[in-house]
Structure 1
Amino acid sequence: MKQRIILGAVAILFILVACLVVRGFLKSRSGYEVLVKSMDSWQQADAPLGYPLNFASLSENPSEDAQIPNFDSRLIQLSAFERARVPVTTRMHSAMGSEFGALTYNAQPYWADNPKRGGHHTGDDFNGIGGMNTDLGDPVYAVANGLSVYRGEPSKGWGNTLMLAHRDVEGAIFMSMYAHLDQIYTPYGSMVSLGETIGTVGTANLNYPAHLHLEMHRSSGVHIGAGYTKVLGDRVDPSHAITQQSTGAPHQLYNSPLAIMMQENLEYTQQNLSIQNQSTQDN
């Protein structure tokens, strides 16, 4: 009888210890639960696009009035389908002046220190050689074959902004970002070829004299941060990257194979439309 009481007490003690361990584990994991934003739209379901929810503030101040941040289109990861569509580029050239970069100067180079603005410049500011607004409305060219993965106005200070995704010969994805545009000609999700006109130089809602802010990111996602930072992150020097991939003198350059293919597809489509229209008229 005494032995049964001892065994029973040991069993109860073991169960209590196990309960305490499980409770402690679950409590330690409570701050890491993935919060569901909403199921109202594709932009909000399970935060799939990488928007950083502020878990800490929500867990420290739980209430019915706690607001979950809205979807932020400036920070997204490419889908598997988008990754598969990103074209390979073997050559790059300037985004302004002419297809080959003439008649421009770099008014504020990448990583130039600007304490008044909060840190280092995140890209290159390209101007026409006349300065000020003399380049307003000038064409902006794609620096390489790419896929349009962002088109919009992330803030009044950025103005119209376009981001293209590219793939190098080793398969790594990188981004080029064109900000302060006056007009954007490239639809979201479309393929563009090296040297194609993708927009025009603007002033970002009259915040600056007309110029192109060009950034480059070694990343597989869209990230539009501030124009000045103290943290390098995934940014790289645009001018250096372009120079490394620029080969041959301007008179030796040839059209991008992607541009040739796109032009041939367009001509083929136009010919088919002409044949169909002629056939309709004959009937």
Structure 2
Amino acid sequence: MVARSHLVFLCTAAGMLGIAMWQDRPPVVPPIEALTGFQDADAPLLLPSDGQPRFRLHQFSAWQLVEIPAATRFESPLGSEHGALTCNDQKFWELNAERGGHHTGDDLNGIGGGNSDLGDPVFATADGLVSFVGEPSPGSGKTIIVAHRDREGRLLESMYAHLDRIDVVAGALVARGAKIGTVGTANGYYPAHLHFEMRRGDGIDVGSGYSMLPLNRLDPAKTIAELAGSAPDELSPSPLAAALK
């Protein structure tokens, strides 16, 4: 009798569990706040194209991919159109224990040090399409991202952060050497300098200035040297600049 009551109890419990499992209840799905993929394997927040700090990843549209121009030459974005009178105060991938990771770009400064370069012009490193303008975070400050294609058609991005002023709009074509903004302090977070990054990729990923994973980030100085196209003293006008006139 006891064994039968136990059997009845187990059957009843199993039936109730089955009913509960088969009830047509929609699952509770939390809002997506982060994605993990080839560009953000260390899971930074994502950022949409409007520049508001909700997300940090925005894939290029088909129209944007068509618009991105080929760049025949790359040059330094600070000092002059050809990179004179600058120093690199924190190079790419230097470990900064206080910031919790490796530096994801180059910190470019005028040779006067301190805030002597505050307001100095920042130039587009190559012909490209402005794919992002905004303030993704207090530490980034005013930020511009420009998309390029190298001579082999591969997509690259250049990022200019901590700006004092932005002089371009998203969707604009900019020629190499065109003034796109001015050196800033990220609203007083740092002494004036330009945080400059180069990346491979087909989407905007603002990310963080320090990381434990390089992902698609490139050494800016090395990349510009490899894509210079000619010797520094063999200056050549931007094809896009001529087309935009």
Give the alignment's TM-score, normalised by structure 1.
0.69
Q: Secondary structure at the match of 1:116?
A: coil
Aligned pair partner of 1:162 in 140, 144, 157: 144
Deviation, 1:174, is 1.1
Query: Is 1:87 the equivalent of 2:69?
Result: yes
Where in structure 1 do 4 or more consecutive aligned residues deviate above 6 Å? none
- Are the counterparts in 1 of residues 47 and 206 from structure 2 also a CA contact under 8 Å? no
Paired position in structure 2 for 1:144? 126
Q: Structure 2: which 5+ runs fail to align?
A: 1-17, 37-45, 49-53
Q: Which whole-Å CA distance do the structure 1 matches of 2:96 and 2:231 have between them?
A: 35
Kindly provide the CA deviation profile for residues 28-70 of structure 1, in whole angstroms up to 9, marking residues without a partner as x.
xx98x9x696xxxxxxxxx8xxx6369xxxxxxxxxxxxxx99
Equivalent AA in structure 1 for residue 216 of structure 2: D
Structure 1 residue 250 displacement after superposition: 4.5
Aligned to 1:196: 178
* Aligned equivalent of 1:233: 215
Task: Tell me, yes or no, if structure 1 residue 74 matches structure 2 residue 56.
Answer: yes
Q: Provide the C-alpha distance between the structure 2 equivalents of 1:138 and 1:103, rounded to a whole number of angstroms.
A: 11
Q: Distance in 1 between matches of 2:58 and 2:191?
A: 30
Q: Distance in 2 between matches of 1:205 and 1:124?
A: 19
Name the aligned partner's letter for residue 174 of structure 2: V
Alignment partners' CA distance in 2, 1:227 and 1:252: 33
2:161 to 179, 186, 195: 179
Structure 1: unaligned runs, 5 residues or longer: 1-19, 25-29, 38-46, 55-68, 264-283
SS of equivalent residue, structure 1 residue 132: coil
**Residue equivalent to 2:201:** 219
Q: Where does residue 123 of structure 1 map in the other structure? A: 105
- Give the direction of change, closer, same or farther, for the CA distance of 1:212–1:70 in structure 2 (3 Å limit): closer
CA contact (8 A) 2:34 2:55 kept: no
Residue 88 of structure 2 is aligned to residue 103 of structure 1: no
Give the partner amino acid of 1:90. Answer: T
Q: Deviations over 1:171-202 (max 9, x none)?
A: 21111000000011111100001111100000
Between Structure 1 and Structure 2, the one with more helix by share is 1
* Counterpart AA for 1:146: G
Residue of structure 2 in register with 1:114 after alignment: 96
The TM-score with structure 2 as length reference comes to 0.79
1:242 maps to 2:224: yes
- Shift in alpha-carbon separation, 1:147–1:73, aligned structure 2, 3 A: farther
Q: Which amino acid aligns with 2:160?
A: Y
- TM-superposed CA distance for 1:224, in Å, is 1.1
How does 1:203-214 map onto structure 2 within 5 Å?
203-214=185-196
Between structure 1 and structure 2, the one with the greater Rg is: 1
Output the amino acid matched with 2:189.
Answer: N
Residue correspondences, number: 211
